[in-house]
Structure 1
Amino acid sequence: MFEELSQYLGWTNCFPEGESFLVIAEGTDCGFILQHFIHTFLKRKLPVCLVSTSQTFSHYSQAGIKIGANLDKAREEKSIHLVDLMSKFLNHYTGQIECDWNAKNIYLSIKEELDSMEISANSILIVDDISVLSSLCLSIDDIGNLLHYLHALSKQRGFNILMSIPSLDCEQVQDTQSIAEHYADTVLCVKSLQTGYSKEVHGQIEVVKGGRSNCGVRQYKLSDKNLHLFARGTSMAVL
């Protein structure tokens, strides 16, 4: 999909196996990162389990069409599996269903879907927005337990895991982010430009491994089918 992003992540010669990724979005949308992971793993014929908390599968399907990915077909072929927590959350809050939301129940619903898949060492579990958990009346301890269970399962079975969270001025979301960072092998920080909107530069991204920047900060320009990365100050707008 986005070849320059794969290179930036170091996937050219070494594809991830049993790694934990966290995407932190500050003032911008990180959906293109999630789409990149989904499309890249499916293209390699590796199973994907998508846990949707903030977007519908239709949203991902429509976004996938722009980059040539047929997620509806992939779902029919059981290449991608869906745990639709968002619909369950909405049905619960509108009174259509009664459900006791806690870390154990959410974990079991995800594990049940994973158990139905042919999990390999290079498979991936994607949770699209873990900040939603803090709005479900889950305590920070419950959220911590859920993330612990999922990462423990990931290490036990050897699959990759990707979570994303927006950087918000909210204590519980910030606490959730801190817990997620503790478990992450690689953190992708995606930020909007402090100088505001630019036609040539849409934001910046930094990959952090082991608390250290992997290859420095890169700015990016995003189009429907391409992502161009470049060092700060080297875009066409300033050259």
Structure 2
Amino acid sequence: MFTELNVILGFDHLKPPKGQFVLISDSLTDGSFLIHHFLSLYIKGGWKVCLLALAQSFGHYNAVGQKLGVPLTQAREKGQLRFIDGLKCSLQMYTCAPQEGQGENPLRALRDKKATLRPLYDLVKTQICSEEGVLEGPTLLLVDDLSVLVSLGVSAKDVSDFMHYCRVLMCPTQQGYCRVLMCPTQQSQGAIVSLVHKDADVEDEENSTLFRHMAYHGTVHLAVEGLSSGYSRDVHGQSNLY
């Protein structure tokens, strides 16, 4: 899938990106096809993936994966794919009262303005790291998508802080990060891919602030935009690499 894009970026399923934070933004079109591209890339290569799904259910990703020839259900059963159902967690925060024995909802910040996304970070860390707190081989953290958290009322600052710690965990660029988290340098094996909406016709200051923060921290920015000439039957948009 998207062989030309892999050539431009310099990786494929046998040589996945390491130590990179790939930001996907879309404007007046849907950039989620790139989420499925990176997901299938890692699964086909036999690498580990942690998918934090805030926008869709597992059934959606599995249906798309089947069309791409990627058996996500099998990857999940083998432990290659770790799926965090953020969509379900967010719905539970608004529709269900907390019940004893269910554990802490990692998205309690949706209802408790004093809470942070630290529980969500801790959950991500337990899904992708060994007991020693390190990554075991090339691992992708895929977040789809960050704009959902802002739309549900989480501040851009809290979301940015969450992604900062995820970036330090997955692809530290300075030894100081490893010393603070007491993590060895093998964590450069990790990579992050995340989607943020940046619609040109919508004024959303919090989401715009989040995008600026993510663009600053990202090592690669893939901007998906609709055609200025409007809808076309054959070509629906364009992708820019920054």
TM-score tier after normalising by the smaller chain length: 0.7 to 0.9
Residue 119 of structure 1 aligns to which amino acid in structure 2? L
Give the secondary structure class of the aligned counterpart of 2:223.
strand
- Residue 141 and residue 31 in structure 1: after superposition, are their counterparts in 2 closer, same or farther (change >3 A)? closer
Residue 33 of structure 2 aligns to which amino acid in structure 1? F
- 1:121 shift after superposition: 4.8
Match of residue 232 from structure 1: none
Matched, 1:80 2:85: no
Match of residue 32 from structure 2: 31
1:35-57 alpha-carbon deviations (Å, 9 max, x no partner):
11011111111101100001111
Structure 1's consecutive aligned runs of 4 or more residues displaced over 6 angstroms after TM superposition are none
2:240 to 182, 189, 206: 206
Alignment partners' CA distance in 2, 1:121 and 1:24: 27
1:107 to 100, 121, 127: 121
Matched, 1:197 2:213: no
* More helix as a share of residues: 2
Matched, 1:165 2:199: no
Match of residue 152 from structure 1: 168
Alignment partners' CA distance in 1, 2:15 and 2:121: 30
Match of residue 6 from structure 1: 6
Matched, 1:135 2:157: no
Identity of aligned residues (%): 30
Residue 185 of structure 1 aligns to which amino acid in structure 2? T
- 1:142 shift after superposition: 1.4
Contact 1:51 1:128 survives alignment (8 Å): yes
- 1:9 shift after superposition: 2.0
Alignment partners' CA distance in 2, 1:8 and 1:204: 15
Alignment partners' CA distance in 1, 2:232 and 2:36: 23
Which deviates further from its counterpart, 6-15 or 102-111?
6-15
Structure 2 unmatched ranges of 5 or more: 100-104, 110-115, 173-186
Structure 1 unmatched ranges of 5 or more: 209-239
1:48-79 alpha-carbon deviations (Å, 9 max, x no partner):
11000011111000011111111111111111
* Residues 62-73 of structure 1 aligned to structure 2 (within 5 Å): 62-73=63-74
TM-score normalised by L of structure 1: 0.81
RMSD of the TM alignment (CA)? 2.0
Matched, 1:183 2:199: no
- 1:17 shift after superposition: 1.0
Matched length: 208
- 1:116 shift after superposition: 5.4
Residue 143 of structure 1 aligns to which amino acid in structure 2? V
Alignment partners' CA distance in 1, 2:167 and 2:124: 12
